[in-house]
Amino acid sequence: MAVSDQVELRAITIRMYMYDCQVSVLSFPQMASTTRARNPRGQGERLRGVLINAARELLLELGDQDKLSVRAVTARAGVSPNALYLHFADKEALLSAVMIASYKELRTFLQAAVPPGGDPIEQLRAYSLAYLRFAQQRPGIYRVLFMTKVREGVPIPAPGAPSGEDEGVDTFNDLLAIVSRCARAGPDPFTQAAYIWTGLHGYAGLRQAIPAFPWPAEHDYVERMLRLYLELDTPGADAVSVPTA
């Protein structure tokens, strides 16, 4: 075979090989790139935050954690349902993340308001006032925490419950620790802490529901509540009459 014929045959062979490669790529476009483009730095974390906020919004509308669905959350966030599973194992994991993030925000707010190492009554007063301010300044988060029905199996405060395992329980335990240091007569510290939490939530919840009502000032309400539950002798206490049944 002549040299020119060999060169031509080689050129034909190369062209046929290149044609076959093009056909393969056109027929199987997924083979054109075997590596998935990585998300820009921080985009995944932003999507996680968007999903948490979408779940918060829906919880405010539904009022019940059991009624929340993955499809509704992802639709609100503007992503496909599969996108949620890149960040959360399931709906339970999403709900846990929502509650943990919300309790962390509340707990950080309360801790910043309580003077460390101070008089326990002053600490309790500061805690109570901060609780009411949080409910007023961040009503959406407050309603997610305390005005939506909690799903079954979620940890709740209980006598002797350990700290460090659940943000919600830890938030109550912070209040319980302050009440325990007050060392006043009356029910056990857990029950007293439950009384105070109930009193704070009643004021916060009713004020959100009926904002036009002439509610007493936060400071006046807290002072009266502490006197009743902790039997405090504070200035002006005699001027307040306690209604009897």
Q: How far is CA 113 from the centre of its chain?
A: 20
pLDDT confidence of residue 174: 95
pLDDT digits (tens, 9 = 90+) for 32-62: 333 334 445 456 688 999 999 999 999 989 8
Domains in the chain: how many in total?
1
- Residue 183: pLDDT band with limits 50, 70, 90: low
Q: Is residue 53 part of a domain?
A: yes
Residue 88 in any domain: the answer is: yes
The predicted pLDDT at position 42 comes to: 54
Tokens in use for 178?
A: 């302050």
Instruction: Examine residue 36 and state whether it is found in any structural domain, yes or no.
Output: no
Please indicate, yes or no, if residue 9 is contained in any of the structural domains: no
Could you tell me which residues come within 8 angstroms of residue 179 by beta carbon, excluding any fewer than 6 positions away?
A: 124, 189, 192, 193, 196, 230
Confidence of residue 16 (pLDDT cuts 50, 70, 90): very low
Query: Does residue 86 form part of some domain?
Result: yes
Q: How far apart are CA 208 and CA 45, in angstroms?
A: 32
Q: What is the mean pLDDT of residues 157-161?
A: 91
Q: What is the CATH number of the domain that holds 53?
A: 1.10.357.10
Quote the CA–CA distance of 203 and 205 in Å, as a whole number.
6
Give the domain extent around 166: 43-232
Q: Is residue 196 part of a domain?
A: yes
What is the pLDDT averaged over residues 203-222?
Answer: 96
Pick the range with the lowest mean pLDDT from 7-21, 33-47, 108-122, 199-213. 7-21
CB within 8 A of 182, min separation 6: which ones? 120, 121, 124, 192, 230
Of the pLDDT bands very low, low, confident and very high (cuts 50, 70, 90), residue 184 is low
Least confident of 22-26, 211-215, 222-226: 22-26
28 within domain boundaries: no
Q: Answer yes or no: pTM beyond 0.75.
A: no
Instruction: Check pLDDT > 60 for residue 94.
Output: yes
Three-state SS for the chain is: CCHHHHHHHHHHHHHHHHHHHHHHHHHCHHHCCCCCCCCCCCHHHHHHHHHHHHHHHHHHHHCEHHHCCHHHHHHHHCCCHHHHCCCCCCHHHHHHHHHHHHHHHHHHHHHHHCCCCCCHHHHHHHHHHHHHHHHHHCHHHHHHHHCCECCCCCCCCCCCCCCCCCHHHHHHHHHHHHHHHHCCCCCCHHHHHHHHHHHHHHHHHHHHHCCCCCCCCHHHHHHHHHHHHHCCCCCCHHHCCCCCC
Residue at 200 is within a domain: yes
* Res 232: pLDDT: 64
